[in-house]
Chain A
């Protein structure tokens, strides 16, 4: 079984400031890790993913995330946010094989960028 905890339900930040959205996961099997973004009244768009290799992964729109296996974390960061980054962000995990291959999502973090 897998679970994902997003530690902050809402994160307000001023434009051009850095931001970190926190994600911790629990799993009995090896997993892939994902961050998705959801704009109002839309579906989910993949920001970035960790499959293997370098623990620092870069995604679209200037976002990056670091996989920390010992702390079972996959925090999302951006050095300078824009108003257009205001959206809901979801961390998700998926098992690498067997019956655990469906995506398990966290409850989301609402990022609000203030002018």
Chain B
């Protein structure tokens, strides 16, 4: 079992650009959540996808959007990047919305 896999592991973007991060959930999991972890802080919930729809959303602007595909994989898109978007982005998957979340290794995004 490959667990939760995220790609890429690192990337550098310029302020104002757009970025797409990808997540493949653990085998059999149908729910994907995204978290932003700024340096020295705990992860902050961005949103959760289940049955290809956004089910819950944290306190993040509309520049942050997502998608879930029929195979349960997910993308996180961030438009008009700001320096403050630099962070580790974590994907977590679970069997349903109510069960234990398993985390991927994260994508380290640096905005310059």
B68 smallest CB distance to A (angstroms): 16
Contacting residues of chain B (12-45) with chain A, CB-CB under 8 angstroms: 33, 35, 40-45
Size bracket, chain B contacts: 20 to 34
- Hey, what's the 0/1 contact readout for A6-46 against B, CB within 8 Å counting as 1? 00000000000000000000000000000010000111111
Instruction: Please indicate the chain B residues that have their CB under 8 angstroms from the CB of A107 in the complex.
Output: 40-42
For the complex, give the distance between the alpha carbons of A8 and B13 in Å.
Answer: 34
Question: Count of chain A residues with Cβ under 8 Å from any Cβ of B?
Answer: 20
Q: Contact at B41–A108, with CB atoms within 8 Å?
A: yes
Q: List 19 A-B contacts (CB under 8 A).
A: A4-B42, A41-B105, A43-B4, A43-B104, A43-B106, A44-B103, A45-B103, A46-B100, A90-B42, A102-B33, A102-B48, A102-B58, A103-B35, A103-B45, A103-B101, A104-B45, A105-B42, A107-B42, A108-B41
Instruction: Please indicate the chain B residues that have their CB under 8 angstroms from the CB of A45 in the complex.
Output: 103
Q: Is the interface of B mostly helix, strand, loop or mixed?
A: loop
In the complex, the chain A residue whose C-beta lies closest to that of B108 is A41
- Hey, what's the 0/1 contact readout for B78-112 against A, CB within 8 Å counting as 1? 00000000000010100001101111111000000
In the complex, the chain A residue whose C-beta lies closest to that of B42 is A105
In the complex, the chain A residue whose C-beta lies closest to that of B4 is A43
A66 smallest CB distance to B (angstroms): 20
